[in-house]
């Protein structure tokens, strides 16, 4: 299978390293800047569980148009960067090829295959480029459980779980999802198929929308947040509101999670992706992790006072990072 990793930062770099080291598929990588130069000169190194996985990267480029048509494109960009890459992603696909969007939070294809109004989500796909050029019917969704950090160009640190949940936007079973899962497993990655990926997305958003955002605003890692009762209380309030929105939209996960325990389980030194971006002066995933949930809440008439207070602060932080 021809597989392209589109955006080989922390998560994408970890996937690329494992797939290239396994050598079971024809893998190419799209990256840029210092990360691209490191891959070309030294390859990739993944530090995980006290071991190192190393891999040469024979095909790495910042110009996707130089690559042949791909059976599978794994998009591991940050959500706000994806719409600008829509045309390049679409051109990479072979006839019958698919795109796996390995993104955090709510995804742009959310309304595909669902009752009610269709079409893209403007907060996540402002000009409709993803809906129009990539198209939801060529898309596979994904929920990521793979905490990674790019410690230097070409070197990724991974701690904790290493599984990816894949599913069709319309909730069906399909051969292409099973083939994508099998490809990940050939690389030593725990791929899993789901028939209700939106439920899985909500399940992760409970902790992501709270821990990521409050860590970004405070610049504290998850261990420091867990040790502060007031900040834990804020995290629990966000979790409760996310669960209320999910229930209003048809996925009731309330009562299935110990929210205070989730807020307290962070470990010292564990920096979620949004905090990593803030510390490096990079734009943050405000809308996918928080803004779209807030929009759903207002559409459904669900009160979310904590999110009402936090969202303007996150958007202000995001604006300051973009204008640096």
Q: For the chain, how long is the longest CA-to-CA vector?
A: 54
Q: Is the dihedral of CA 56, 269, 197, 191 positive or negative?
A: positive
Contact present, 29 and 8 (Cβ < 8 Å)? yes
H/E run at residue 193: strand 190-194
Of 68, 79, 58, 24, whose CA–CA distance to 212 is shortest?
79
291 within 8 A of 244, measured Cβ to Cβ = no
d(CA 198, CA 123): 18
Q: Which of 2, 54, 78, 204 is catalytic?
A: 204
Distance CA 173, CA 151 (A): 38
| CA 255-258-259 angle, 5° bins | 100
Q: Which residue has the tokens 């939106």?
A: 198
* CB burial readout 99-110, b (16+ within 10 A) else e: bbbbbbbbbbbb
Distances (CA, A) of 120 to 62, 135, 296: 27, 10, 13
CA distances from 62 to 67, 115, 123 (A): 10, 39, 27
Q: How far apart are CA 42 and CA 138, in angstroms?
A: 34
* Dist. CA 310–CA 314, nearest whole Å: 6
54 belongs to the catalytic site: no
Are 272 and 108 spatial neighbours (Cβ–Cβ below 8 Å)? no
In contact, 92 and 69? CB cutoff 8 Å: yes
Half-sphere exposure of 49 (CA within 13 A, CB side): 6
The residues carrying an active-site annotation are 204
């Amino acid at each position: 299978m021809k597989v392209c990793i589109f955006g080989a930062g922390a998560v994408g770099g970890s996937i690329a390293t494992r797939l290239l080291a396994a050598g079971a598929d024809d893998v190419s990588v799209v990256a840029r800047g210092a990360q691209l130069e490191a891959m070309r000169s030294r390859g990739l190194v993944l530090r995980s569980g006290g071991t190192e996985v190393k891999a040469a990267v024979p095909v790495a480029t910042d110009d996707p148009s130089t690559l042949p048509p791909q059976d599978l494109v794994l998009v591991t960009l940050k959500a706000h960067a994806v719409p600008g890459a829509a045309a390049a992603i679409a051109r990479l696909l072979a006839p019958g090829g698919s795109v796996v969007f390995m993104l955090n939070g709510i995804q742009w294809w959310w309304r595909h295959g669902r009752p009610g109004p269709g079409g893209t989500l403007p907060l996540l796909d402002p000009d409709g480029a993803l809906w129009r050029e990539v198209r939801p019917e060529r898309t596979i969704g994904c929920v990521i459980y793979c905490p990674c950090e790019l410690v230097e160009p070409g070197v990724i640190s991974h701690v904790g779980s290493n599984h990816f949940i894949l599913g069709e936007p319309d909730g069906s079973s399909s051969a292409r999802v099973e083939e994508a899962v099998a490809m990940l497993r050939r690389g030593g990655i725990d791929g899993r198929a789901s028939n209700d990926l939106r439920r899985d997305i909500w399940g992760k958003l409970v902790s992501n929308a709270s821990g990521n955002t409050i860590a970004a605003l405070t610049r504290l890692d998850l261990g420091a947040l867990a040790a502060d009762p007031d900040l834990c209380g804020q995290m629990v309030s966000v979790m409760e509101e996310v669960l209320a929105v999910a229930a209003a939209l048809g996925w009731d996960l309330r009562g299935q999670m110990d929210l205070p325990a989730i807020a307290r389980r962070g470990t010292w030194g564990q920096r979620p992706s949004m905090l990593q971006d803030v510390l490096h002066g990079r734009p943050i995933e405000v809308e996918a992790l928080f803004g779209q949930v807030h929009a759903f809440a207002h559409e459904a008439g669900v009160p979310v006072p904590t999110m009402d207070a936090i969202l303007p602060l996150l958007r202000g932080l995001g604006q300051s990072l973009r204008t640096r």
